[in-house]
Amino acid sequence: MRQIETAAITKAVKEAAIAANYDLGEDILAALKRGEQEEESPSGREIFRQLVENAGIACNERVPLCQDCGLAVIFVELGQEVQIVGGDFEQAIQEGVRQGYGEGFLRKSLCHPLTRANTGDNTPAVIHTEIVPGDRLKITVVPKGGGSENMSRVHMLKPAEGRAGVIEKVVATVKEAGPNPCPPIIVGVGIGGTFERAALLAKKALLRELGSPNPDPELAALEQEMFQQVNDLGIGPQGLGGRITAMAVHVLMQPSHIASLPVAVNIQCHSSRHKEAVL
Ligand code: SF4
């Protein structure tokens, strides 16, 4: 067994939370620069220009990309040959979030759902842990903004609605969202599994490198069709009209019950932030 100290986990989460909020990924930045060239609407091109400028300011001046620094969603892949030592694994992650949001001067956006009292340190993070082969620990910190999360939906379709029904629901979800999730967006789609599994697939789909093709040809074709229809809505950057509403549609799929066809749409705003640490 390979041992990993909880102190190293806390440090990795802290650094990833800060980096995710300051440094936009190269793939997202490249898509924003492409948008600046390719968007047909002049106001849309100006928005892309401002988003590229904003990313430069955040990176150079070490300030957050957006005032909404998100709820920290943490994806963990824990190798089955790893032993966590020195304390409680989940507490180590929560402490990393606490320190990252404190030291990075990131907005604390978590509150009691009913009283709305702020928890004060952006915890608890939402942690998804998967046990995988090997002796590594991979932690991906995904600060998720409230605006785009609010416009996300899970639909339980009748199986007979099929592929056309899935496309229709995805496009309708983006249409209903309009300008609210801060377009240009990335659309994560989870198809199959159960109610909660579809939502998790949709969120995970957002982590794929922007611009990379789906390795499954069936899903690649589905993505292309939905991408076209979503952009035909004409919502455009920041909802001011234009050709580019979405920079990509990413789909993950798994088998579902014969009586069900769950479809989840997790919308990601242009401030698409995630950073990985491998221990
Ligand atoms: S949806 Fe995204 S870009 Fe808009 S305010 Fe929230 S985090 Fe910022």
For a mutational test of ligand 1's pocket, the pick from 66, 67, 71, i.e. the residue with the most ligand atoms closer than 8 A to its C-beta, is 66
- pLDDT digits 0-9 by tens, 187-204: 999 999 999 999 999 999
In the structure, which protein residues have their CB atom closer than 6 angstroms to any atom of ligand 1?
66, 68, 70, 145-148, 181-182, 269-271
What's the burial of 8, exposed, middle or buried (CB within 10 Å: 0-12/13-18/19+)? middle
pTM for the full predicted model: 0.96
Q: CA-to-CA distance for 252 and 197, rounded, in angstroms?
A: 11
pLDDT at residue number 35: 97
CA of 146 to the centre of ligand 1 (A): 7
What atom in ligand 1 is closest to the CA of residue 148? 1
Contact 274, 20 (CB under 8 A): yes
CA of 144 to the centre of ligand 1 (A): 8
pLDDT at residue number 211: 86
pLDDT at residue number 42: 97
- Domains of the chain, by residue range, sit at 2-20+65-144, 147-271
Report the chain's terminal Cα–Cα distance, integer Å.
14
Under-50 pLDDT residues of the chain: none
What atom in ligand 1 is closest to the CA of residue 65? 8
What atom in ligand 1 is closest to the CA of residue 67? 8
CA of 134 to the centre of ligand 1 (A): 36
Residues 6 or more apart whose CB falls under 8 angstroms from that of 21 comprise 58, 64, 65, 69, 70, 104, 106, 143, 273
Residue whose CA lies nearest to ligand 1 atom number 4: 182
What atom in ligand 1 is closest to the CA of residue 69? 7
pLDDT at residue number 201: 98
